[in-house]
Amino acid sequence: MSDDFNMSMRKFLKQVGVTSQQAIEEAMRTAGDTSGKTFSAKVVLTVEGLDLEHTVTGQITGQEDG
């Protein structure tokens, strides 16, 4: 793959990672006490113009304040 492709993909994935982490952190703060709770998470990636739908699932565990 070309350098331009690799750079644009890495830039997109970095943006996804950073903004997703910020959104999750904000949701956890808004939710209040999440200590000991586990939340199911799912991300669905689609790319227009390509036949791509990629799903990633996982668990996020709340942490105690402090």
Give pLDDT tens digits for 11-31.
999 999 999 999 999 999 999
**Domains in the chain: how many in total?**
1
Is 66 among the domain residues? no
Which of 52, 48, 30, 47 shows the shortest CA–CA distance to 39? 30
Taking CA 34 as the corner, what is the angle to CA 26 and CA 15, rounded to the nearest 5 degrees?
Answer: 30
* Rounded distance between C-alpha atoms, residue 48 and residue 45, angstroms: 10
Domain span including residue 23: 3-61
Tokens of 3: 């350098």
> In this structure, are residues 44 and 58 in contact, taking their beta carbons and an 8 Å threshold?
no
**Res 64: pLDDT:** 74
**pTM of the prediction?**
0.83
